Amino acid sequence: MASWIIEMKRSTKNKAKGAFIEAKGRTKEAAGRATRSQRLAGTGRVEAAQGRVQRKFGELQEEFEDTED
């Protein structure tokens, strides 16, 4: 591996991935509203919720990582 690659904690990965999924979902939801596509808006709401759950899970993992030290 390259020396410039930094290992991230699992909690950090989950928070970042969750934030990305949440943003992607919100974008889909907005696009669905703009095009009056209930299917796209609904898919976006679901993705945004999944992202929130993953981000919160990462925050919870971080709390437990802090208590292990």
Q: What local confidence, expressed as pLDDT, does residue 3 receive?
A: 63
pTM of the model: 0.81
Assess if residue 6 is contained within a domain: no
Rounded distance, CA 52 to CA 18, Å?
6
DSSP letter assigned to residue 2 = -
Q: Please list, residue by residue across 15-33, b when 16 or more beta carbons sit within 10 angstroms of its beta carbon and e when fewer do.
A: beebeebbeebeebbeebe
Contact 12, 58 (CB under 8 A): yes
Which structure tokens are listed for 45? 């709401």
Give the structural domain span for 20.
11-68
Domain count, the chain: 1
Assess if residue 5 is contained within a domain: no
Assess if residue 15 is contained within a domain: yes
**Residue numbers of the chain with a pLDDT score lower than 70:** 1-3, 68-69
Assess if residue 1 is contained within a domain: no
